[in-house]
Chain A
Amino acid sequence: MHIPDGFISPKLYVPAYAVAIGLLAIAFRRLRRELREETIPLLAVMTALAFVLMLVAVPLPGGTSAHASGVAVLAVLFGPWIAFASCALVLLLQAMLFGAGGITTFPVNALAMGFAGSLVAWSTYRLLRTWRRPVALFLAGWLSVVTAAVLVAVALGVQPLLAHRADGTPLFFPFGLEITLPAIVLPHLVVGVGEGLLTVLIVQLSERVLPRRTP
């Protein structure tokens, strides 16, 4: 789901940088205020897990592959702001070490996977946790992936409209929304099931091993 460099026009990534830097400033302020020394090891472990999960590509029918993210686990255990900061760190390291994603596309990836993914996961969990907690955790995971996929598909699909030559030839990503939405979102409906199950498993396991953290 990481958008590589060269696929996104400056018309989108420049404003995205402005928004992402603003939100990251808020996230790091919240991190300083809310994080306690005893919770840092768990956050480090979950961030490392997200780093690895995002690099494990699952082959899918049709000659493509997708991956889980672990963002919902971070959001449920630590809240959306800390999850966003952790996810942004993961995406930055992946762009620098693996070329997974990119430097120009970093804010778009961070906003889609980190910010929107975390916010949706945390809101879903908070809304449904008193009804059936495992279902709330599963849906938090599933929706975090699907939301990020929709945003990435939209960011790519609008490129032919945003930047093209006089004859209409796209200068960046060449396929429109009618192609990107089904091509990106449909596989992630399946990947989201894995992310949902992983969220249930990891959150419940971390609570069994460590003192209860989730609200």
Chain B
Amino acid sequence: MMRLMGAMVLAALALLSADARAHDLQHTIRRGDAVVITVTFPDGMPFSFESFELFAESDSIPFQVGRSDAQGRIVFLPDSARTCRVRAFAHDGHGIDITFATEGWEALPDAQRAPLSRLTRILVGVALVFGLFGVLVLIFKGRT
């Protein structure tokens, strides 16, 4: 009788432990080389907690979806994809849709990463506007 009861207890424990294993999640923590995309408004305000979709190469199904963090960062590990596309959306229509290479950024000179500062581009834009209207004046002068 005692043997039978012992066998039953062992069988119940075995079943319970199998059941517990099925609900268990394992995890590992390690550092990796992640790609970090920081999205901000022009005044530096972070594009925080907005949804994004990340696509590898030309896939139509995203391999990662989520939200940017409090500092407007989208962080991911690119695996084998050499180019990625990220789309980030806010409810009010702000957002980005960019395709970029996941490797080789360290080798790029600073000038290639950000060709012109924002202020320079504003000045270039204003100069272009005046230049185009200057051409208009010349056309008018040519007529008279």
A residues with CB within 8 A of B: 1, 3-7, 35-37, 40-41, 43-44, 47-48, 51-52, 55, 57, 59, 63-65, 89-90, 93-94, 97-98, 152-153, 156, 173-175, 179-180, 183-184, 187
**Per-position binary interface string of chain B over residues 81-124, scored 1 when its CB falls under 8 Å from any chain A CB and 0 otherwise:** 00000010111111111000000000000000000001001101
Task: For A55, list chain B residues within 8 Å (CB).
Answer: 42, 122
B125 at interface by CB-CB < 8 Å: yes
B residues with CB within 8 A of A: 41-43, 45, 48-49, 51, 87, 89-97, 118, 121-122, 124-126, 128-130, 132-134, 136-137, 140-141, 144
Report the Cα distance A150→B86, complex, angstroms.
Answer: 27
| Residue contact A52 to B126, C-beta cutoff 8 Å | yes
Chain A interface mostly helix, strand, loop or mixed? helix
Report the Cα distance A179→B91, complex, angstroms.
Answer: 6
- CB < 8 Å neighbour of A59 from B41, B87, B92, B136: B41
Q: Nearest residue in B to A155 (C-beta to C-beta)? A: B93
Q: Nearest residue in A to B133 (C-beta to C-beta)? A: A44
Q: How near does chain B come to A43, taking the closest CB pair, in angstroms? A: 7
**A55-B42, A65-B43 known; A187 vs B92 contact (CB < 8 Å):** yes
